[in-house]
Amino acid sequence: MTYVLHYAPDNASLIIRLALEHAGLNFRTVLVDRTNAEQTKPPYRALNPNGLIPVLETPHGPLFETGAILLWLADTHGGLGPAPTDPARGDFLKWLFFVSNTIHPALRMLFYPEKFIAADSATALRHGLQHHLHISFGALDQVAATKPAWLGALDPTVLDFYIAGVLRWPALYPRDADRSWFDLSRYPALAQLCAHLETLPCTHALQNAEGLGDTPFTAPHPPTPPEGSAI
């Protein structure tokens, strides 16, 4: 069985790539060319009618939504998070859904305010979102500092991969806006999580595939991918 990951460099697909690589699963990638807005065209919308990246093609059909793909992979293959019978399952799920339902959408609004609000209100929206994200990252940091087995451990879960992704992007995007509000060092437990992930083979594979540099999570630089575009 070989999965098919529809991806664009430095998009949410990188989180899925990390999970696939870490689990040692067979997959191939198909580039979604954002410069031509391929994600909005009928062939891609046949896989994801919402026109968002990523999509993971499986024997049971295409999956979309980052959190849903991660949870499906964890439950299907094991080893990427607490099993359904594990007493830690509830805590793992509530924070996975917190990242998926609260942090990730807030970042999307921060990066693309024009999709959600009139242009003359974009600055106010961004300021509000920055404050909201700081509180949210702080909440995650407090949880990571308690060192649960399912977050920040030597063997990462899909939650670790998701968190690393959402901590990478505020340091880089939006490129035309002030990003000084974000400082990873304000969240020491999450910074430690990111530093650990950078030592793993799955991250090295991601770096090579998407041109993310030597420190993609702790000190990100704009990507220089061998194919495609991040925006």
> For residue range 99-120, what is the model confidence (pLDDT) as tens digits?
999 999 999 999 999 999 998 8
1-10, 14-23, 111-120: least confidently modelled range:
111-120
Question: C-alpha 172: how far from its chain's center?
Answer: 14
The Cα 230–Cα 222 span in angstroms is 9
Mean pLDDT of 108-135: 94
Count each helix (H run) and each strand (E run) in the chain, helices first.
9, 4
- Residues 93-122 as b or e (16 or more Cβ within 10 Å = b): bebbebbbeebbebbbbbbebeeeeeeeeb
**CATH number of residue 182's parent domain:** 1.20.1050.10
- At residue 176, the pLDDT reads 85
* 188 domain residue, yes or no: yes
Pairing of strands 55-58, 3-7: antiparallel
Q: Could you report the per-residue pLDDT of 138-156, keeping only the tens digit for each?
A: 999 999 999 999 999 999 9
* 96 domain residue, yes or no: yes
* 138 domain residue, yes or no: yes
Q: Could you report the per-residue pLDDT of 24-42, keeping only the tens digit for each?
A: 999 999 999 999 999 999 9
- At residue 30, the pLDDT reads 98
Q: Which domain holds residue 139?
A: 89-200
* 94 domain residue, yes or no: yes
- At residue 153, the pLDDT reads 96
The Cα 107–Cα 12 span in angstroms is 11
* 170 domain residue, yes or no: yes
* 37 domain residue, yes or no: no
What total number of domains does the chain contain? 1
- What confidence category does residue 231 fall into, taking pLDDT thresholds of 50, 70 and 90? confident
- DSSP bridge pairs for 56: 5, 63
Phi-psi region of 140 (alpha: psi -120 to 50; beta: other; left: phi over 0): alpha
> What does each C-alpha distance from 107 to 79, 102, 121, 152, 173 come to in angstroms?
28, 9, 17, 22, 9
The Cα 126–Cα 177 span in angstroms is 9
* 141 domain residue, yes or no: yes
Mean pLDDT of 214-219: 98
- At residue 177, the pLDDT reads 86
* 47 domain residue, yes or no: no
User: What is the pLDDT of the chain when averaged over all its residues?
Assistant: 97
- At residue 1, the pLDDT reads 77
Q: Look at residues 141, 160, 148 and name the one whose alpha carbon lies nearest to residue 15.
A: 160
Torsion over CA: 96, 74, 21, 8 (sign): negative
Q: What is the pTM of this model?
A: 0.97
